[in-house]
Homo-oligomer: A and B are copies of this chain.
Amino acid sequence: MTTRAAVQDGPRSKRREILEVAVDKFGRDGFEATKWASIADEVGIGQTALYHYFESKVHCLLTIMTLELERSLAQFVEATAGFDDPEGKLRAAIASAYDVTPREALAARILVSHTEFLGWARASVREEEERQTARRLVREIEDAWTALIQRGMNDLAFVPRDARQTATALLALVISVWRSYRESQRRRLPGITTFMSDACVRLVGP
A: residues with CB less than 8 A from B are 29-33, 113-117, 119-120, 161-162, 165-166, 168-169, 172-173, 176, 179, 195-196, 199, 202-203, 205-206
Contact = CB atoms under 8 A, between A and B. Distances in A.
B29 A179 contact: no
Contacts of A202: 202-203, 205-206
A169 B176 contact: yes
Nearest to A123: B33
A179 B162 CA distance: 19
B32 A120 contact: yes
Contacts of A173: 169, 172-173, 176
A182 to B, nearest CB: 9
A165 B195 contact: yes
Contacts of A205: 202
Contact of A119 (B30, B169, B206): B30
Interface of A is mostly: helix
15 contacts: A29-B120, A30-B120, A32-B116, A113-B115, A113-B116, A113-B119, A114-B116, A115-B179, A161-B195, A169-B176, A169-B199, A172-B172, A172-B179, A173-B173, A202-B205
Lowest 9 CB-CB distances: which A-B pairs, in order?
A172-B176, A30-B120, A113-B116, A202-B202, A33-B120, A173-B173, A199-B203, A202-B203, A165-B195
For the complex formed by this chain, how many copies does it contain in all? Answer: 2
Contact of A195 (B115, B117, B162): B162
A12 to B, nearest CB: 34
Contacts of A166: 199
Nearest to A28: B120
A20 to B, nearest CB: 20
Contacts of A119: 30, 113
A80 to B, nearest CB: 22
Contacts of A176: 168-169, 172-173, 176
Nearest to A176: B172
